[in-house]
Amino acid sequence: MKVSLIPEKCIACGLCQTYSKIFDYHDDGIVKFTDSQALVKTIDNQDHDTLKAVKACPTKALTIL
C-alpha cells in the first residue's frame, strides 16, 4: 500500500507523528516522511499505526493510494 502526502493541505497539527514514526516535520511544521523527501511512500499493509495516522488527519493531507 502507498501513502501520499499533500503538504499544501497540512495544518501542522501533529497528529500523524503522534500515531506513526514514519512521519516527521519540516522546520515550518509541515508533514514529511522521516527518511525521505518523497511525497509517496510504500508501507507494509500491516502498519496499523500509519493507517490510524492517515485516518486521523483532519485535513486529509495524508491519503492511501
pTM value?
0.89
Residue span of the structural domain in which 35 resides: 2-64
- Which CATH number fits the domain that encloses residue 28? 3.30.70.20
Q: Would you place residue 63 in the very low, low, confident or very high pLDDT band (cuts 50, 70, 90)? A: very high
For residue range 31-58, what is the model confidence (pLDDT) as tens digits? 999 999 999 999 998 999 999 999 999 9
For residue range 9-23, what is the model confidence (pLDDT) as tens digits? 999 999 999 999 999
**Tally of domains within the chain:** 1
Predicted local distance difference test score (pLDDT) of residue 41: 97
Rounded Cα gap, residues 25 and 57, in angstroms:
14
Rounded Cα gap, residues 36 and 51, in angstroms:
18
